[in-house]
Amino acid sequence: MSIDTETQPSFAVGEWHPTSLLQVATRDADGEEDVLVIDLLSLKDGLLLPESLSEALSGPFGSPNVVKLGVGLANDLDEMSFAFEETPFLEQVPGVLNLNALNTKLTGGACNDQGIPRDLGLRKLASMYLGRSLSKRQQMSRWARRPLQSAQVNYAACDALVALRVFDALLLALGSLDVGELCTTWTPRRYS
C-alpha cells in the first residue's frame, strides 16, 4: 500500500502544523485500486485520533507482510507521530519502503556533491518511470483550512496512487527482487 500525508506549510521559523491528511492507496489481487483520503484534522479530538481509526489502521500499519511505500514516508510518519499522541498504529511500522531505495537499486542513484545518494521527489520519479508529468500545484496549499477544495482532495489522492504505480514500474524494471530486503521498520523519533 502507498502512504502519503499533507500538512499545512510553515512559512515562519518555529511555526508548526499537525498533519492534515493521510492518504492510503491500495490494489487488490484483481487489480482494483482504491485511495482512501482521511481528514485527520476533522477527526482528531485535541491530540488524539478516534480509537476506531487507530484500530482500523493498526492491522496494515503493524503487519510486516504489508509493504508501506512512499517517498519521504519516514518523515510523514514522524510528523504524524508528533501531531497525534497515543496513536497505537504509529508506535512501530514494519515494512516501510522508500521508493528512492528501489530507484537507487536500479540506477545507482544520483549523488550530491559529497557523494551521498540524493532522494528524488515523486514528481521526478513519475516522470522517469511513468513518462508522465505530475502537477504539484496544490502541494503548498492551505491544508489546514476547511472545507478542503476538490482540487486539494484530488491532488492528495493522486499522489498516493501515483506512488503505487511508480512502485509497479520500478519492480518491472528491476525484474527479480526481494523487496523485503529493502524494507525498514520505522520507529518514531519520540520513542527512540
pLDDT in tens, 47-65: 677 888 888 999 999 999 9
Overall pTM surpassing 0.75 (yes/no): yes
Is the CA virtual torsion 53, 56, 61, 66 positive or negative?
negative
* CA proximity to 142, closest of 44, 46, 6, 45: 6
Q: What distance in Å separates the CA atoms of residue 170 and residue 105, rounded to the nearest whole number?
A: 10
Burial status of residue 46 (CB atoms within 10 A of its CB: 0-12, 13-18, 19 or more): exposed
Is the predicted pLDDT of residue 113 greater than 70, yes or no? no
Q: Is the pLDDT of residue 67 over 60?
A: yes
Domains of the chain (ranges, CATH numbers) = 2-191 (3.30.420.10)
Rounded Cα distance between 38 and 22, Å, is: 5
58 contact partners, CB below 8 Å, separation of at least 6: 88, 89
Q: Which of 1, 119, 129, 11 is nearest to 61 (CA)?
A: 1
What's the pLDDT at 191? 42
Mean pLDDT of 150-179: 93
- State the pLDDT confidence band at 192, using cuts at 50, 70 and 90: very low
